[in-house]
A = this chain, B = another copy of it.
């Protein structure tokens, strides 16, 4: 029947609220039924938080948003982020209602072979960023909304949050930046259903408590009855027509709405209804709420695609990345022997790459003068995003950008990236092309002390199985590895250092992800030292010292920490009697030492790890490297210890 509704009736319906609202009401009811059914079938999940959001979702998808359900990644589709990711069933139901897939799929919710996971992930083409860690959706929304400006599109971004997650600090970081960037193409909605997981939420149904906070943060805040479709439609329209600031719709709702024995009751968070009588009663109650007088129109018929020809979309508008790879970067300008900090070379490289690849955007957390991202700002101010001191929102923004084909480089001190560790985790789950940079890593920052030393950043990044981890030691490798990061799919972490280091590579040297460089090699090498970043220079100094003692060692610059260069390591192990020493400006666990150890485990080769094994303190960089066991002296001592005959060797060996 629904198929018979003609075009004109649909057009009329869209503007005649008296007719539209009963149709939306029935859609909302179907969304509730789906959510309850699918979670009961799965035996787990969150039906009640879906029920509170049913009118919001129905109004958004079938009266407010413009998108093409058959092409969910169309660059001009409005974006929808379900920040309250545990309401996944209603998201899936909405897309089924819109015709993106068959409704029968919904009953595969949470099955191991279905992409309808417990919380949304980008395995589904209509999901931009994985959600389920609360408080992240609005941060991603920043990137999505800014991306519309970047590509010159008029698409709008909608983020549905829960009231419980509104206490997460990251939400307020996003609020600040949306205000700063005057994102009038961003509309957030809070489903204020009063009940958290274990108790009433902090502000419960005090709508004024929500509104005054958002207004203080510069947003237009509209308080509505979240079950009144007319209220919702008016509010969405108001938000859409508001210029110069973001809007939030604060929707007062009831958790479990529509089912008498769930509605507004505690104790039902995350509990599906039991199959059988409990489920049947709920479905019967909901079916009785269907308005039989409403026009028989499906969501799929109501969906509106993006308006005809809009502004031509800018670079990076395609899914994932554009087919057209950027021009190769000219060789670095450094000469062997120059002194340059990798953090500075990294900044230089991004300027060069930025000129060649318009997809690159840079995000800073008020450290641009230390990280040298200010070079990029100066060259490409319109692709530089200041995030002030909000590392979480910065990462979330990067996730949003990356999900729409930009290549974001969020950038701060390595230690402060830990502030965004949960966003890094969700970036990995989302498989996004985010290229993180942590500068000022390790003891080698010196006097500022441990709070400013990233000493666990490699562990954090390496733990994520799909993260690439790169760690250049000089200007040339820094430039080349930034370029490599762009060509590498998925998340990449690049670690840079504060001190100036000597350029050791010729400008035409090439650097592959998964490779390494053998810096010193001879047939008489008695051991291999695997270093990266700043410790490469300690290894070189140790080698010089050992050579005077007639001892030759092999040195490997393991600039690719993940994946690590197993082939080269194996060869070195085989050729240096299985004596492998790693040395890293990082805590001993989780970094280079563990990476090398695992790579060699199958060959029965073990690794002697030099790393930082206690909480460090302030001091000069060279004092700290020595005090905490990773200086040239320690490398020499370790070689002499594990190669006992080396300590007394007399004859000189060719290096």
Contact = CB atoms under 8 A, between A and B. Distances in A.
A623 B112 CA distance: 8
Contact of A425 (B85, B415, B590): B415
A172 to B, nearest CB: 4
A590 B463 contact: yes
Contacts of A451: 85, 119, 121, 130-133, 426, 429
Given A447-B45, A449-B119, A425 B429 contact: no
Interface in A189-212: 196-199, 201-202, 212
B448 A199 contact: no
A389 B598 contact: no
Interface string A606-627: 1111001111011110011001
Nearest to A371: B198
A421 B460 contact: yes
B597 A389 contact: no
Q: Which of A198, A269, A393, A600 is most buried by chain B, counting CB atoms within 10 A of its CB?
A: A198
B456 A463 contact: yes
A456 B448 contact: no
Interface in A35-68: 42-45
Interface string A165-193: 10111111100100010000000000000
Interface stretch (A224-232, A253-261, A361-369): A361-369
A17 B396 CA distance: 50
Nearest to A270: B370
How many copies altogether? 2
A419 B133 contact: yes
Interface string A379-423: 000000010111011000000000000000000000110110110
Given A117-B449, A196-B388, A169 B367 contact: no
Interface stretch (A98-106, A213-221, A289-297): A213-221
Contact of A133 (B168, B201, B386, B416): B416
A198 B168 contact: no
Given A119-B448, A172-B169, A589 B600 contact: no
A131 to B, nearest CB: 7
A573 B655 CA distance: 37
Contacts of A617: 112, 117, 121, 123
Given A111-B619, A173-B167, A419 B421 contact: yes
A359 interface: no
A588 interface: yes
Contacts of A504: none
Interface in A101-129: 110-112, 114, 117-119, 121, 123
A394 to B, nearest CB: 11
Contacts of A168: 169, 173, 389-390, 419
A646 interface: no
B112 A619 contact: yes
Contacts of A167: 173, 176, 388-390
Contact of A618 (B110, B180, B618): B110
Contacts of A613: 465
A598 B594 CA distance: 8
Given A213-B216, A422-B421, A459 B450 contact: no
A525 interface: no
Interface in A442-458: 446-452, 455-456
Interface of A: 42-45, 85, 110-112, 114, 117-119, 121, 123, 130-135, 164-165, 167-173, 176, 180, 196-199, 201-202, 212-213, 215-217, 269, 364, 366-370, 374, 386, 388-390, 392-393, 415-416, 418-419, 421-422, 425-426, 428-429, 431, 446-452, 455-456, 459-460, 462-466, 562, 587-591, 593-595, 597-598, 600-609, 612-615, 617-620, 623-624, 627
In the A-B complex, the 9 residue pairs with the smallest Cβ-Cβ separation, listed nearest first, are: A169-B169, A132-B451, A112-B619, A421-B421, A216-B216, A456-B463, A118-B449, A117-B618, A459-B463
Given A199-B366, A463-B590, A601-B607, 16 more contacts: A112-B618, A117-B449, A132-B452, A133-B415, A133-B451, A169-B171, A176-B202, A197-B369, A197-B370, A212-B216, A215-B216, A455-B463, A462-B590, A465-B615, A590-B594, A597-B601
